[in-house]
Structure 1
């Protein structure tokens, strides 16, 4: 009787163990579902800010030469970084940067949270588009192998 019981129970135990092993590598069905696409951010420059700022100053740190230099970049204009293949462009300056859902805007024209949207191109190819924050210089900082960029000052339009 014990032998008969072993012959019946052992295959059932082996089958349940084998089935359990097959589930270990499987992901839950939720993990395979595509995630919904995130809505792109929209930059809105309010009328109270439009045309009120002409330039920003960005400190560029050359990590290889251990040098830092401040450059004035006119908003909306290309700036060729001397001695490099980089072109910088400040697309937008928001003196009181806020994020409202997917909208990036300025709550006022006061320098509460200054931010500049910077585009960096290398040999004409865009390698970075993001924001520099003067109060939070390391937030979302672009990691270039040779250069570091920091927003340091802002120039109002005359």
Structure 2
């Protein structure tokens, strides 16, 4: 009789374990399938005085294979084909005093407090990166490419 009781208790514990495990697994599967709330889109607002003051940026492109670096001057709103590669680099915007206000990215002033350039990189015409280069924080949100590195090094005011 004691043996039967032990067997019943043991089988009950095993059954509870399976039930709990299944429920946990189901919860994990449901959580994985559950749609995540969409992030609100960010908007880039370049103040008119900033648009008038700045015309281009200088971006250093590092060739990791050959341990070389070349600096290119790229006008705002234009793109450059990186020589010897299948990459193009487009400079979308420049914000000399980059700030994020809610979902809006803008410049608080024309002072070079936190200079940032919004870039788009395409490889074989396919967009592989759209983001920001920060001159004071070059590793923040840095784009990782196996062959090339990109750094914002200077900014050119309009004459």
- How far apart, in 2, do the equivalents of 1:147 and 1:86 lie? 10
Consecutive unaligned residues of structure 2, counting only runs of 5 or more, are none
Runs of 4+ in 1 over 6 A off after TM superposition: none
- How far apart, in 2, do the equivalents of 1:120 and 1:34 lie? 29
| The 10-residue stretch of structure 1 (24-33 or 73-82) with the greater mean CA deviation from structure 2 | 24-33
* 1:142 aligned onto 2:143: yes
Consecutive unaligned residues of structure 1, counting only runs of 5 or more, are none
Q: Secondary structure at the match of 1:18?
A: helix
- How far apart, in 2, do the equivalents of 1:84 and 1:9 lie? 72
| The 10-residue stretch of structure 1 (85-94 or 23-32) with the greater mean CA deviation from structure 2 | 23-32
Structure number with the higher helix fraction is: 2
| The 10-residue stretch of structure 1 (85-94 or 8-17) with the greater mean CA deviation from structure 2 | 8-17
Q: Residues 31-50 of structure 1: CA distance to partner in whole angstroms, max 9, x if unpaired?
A: 35332111121111122212
Match of 1:153 in 2: 154
Q: How far did residue 78 of structure 1 move?
A: 1.4
Q: Secondary structure at the match of 1:58?
A: strand
Match of 2:10 in 1: 13
- How far apart, in 1, do the equivalents of 2:20 and 2:153 lie? 55
Match of 1:64 in 2: 65
- Name which one, 1 or 2, has greater alpha-carbon Rg: 1
* 1:112 aligned onto 2:109: no
Match of 1:31 in 2: 31
- How far apart, in 2, do the equivalents of 1:19 and 1:36 lie? 34
Match of 2:88 in 1: 87
TM value normalised by structure 2? 0.89
- How far apart, in 2, do the equivalents of 1:80 and 1:46 lie? 28
TM value normalised by structure 1? 0.89
* Number of equivalenced pairs: 155
| The 10-residue stretch of structure 1 (30-39 or 141-150) with the greater mean CA deviation from structure 2 | 30-39
C-alpha RMSD of the superposition = 1.8
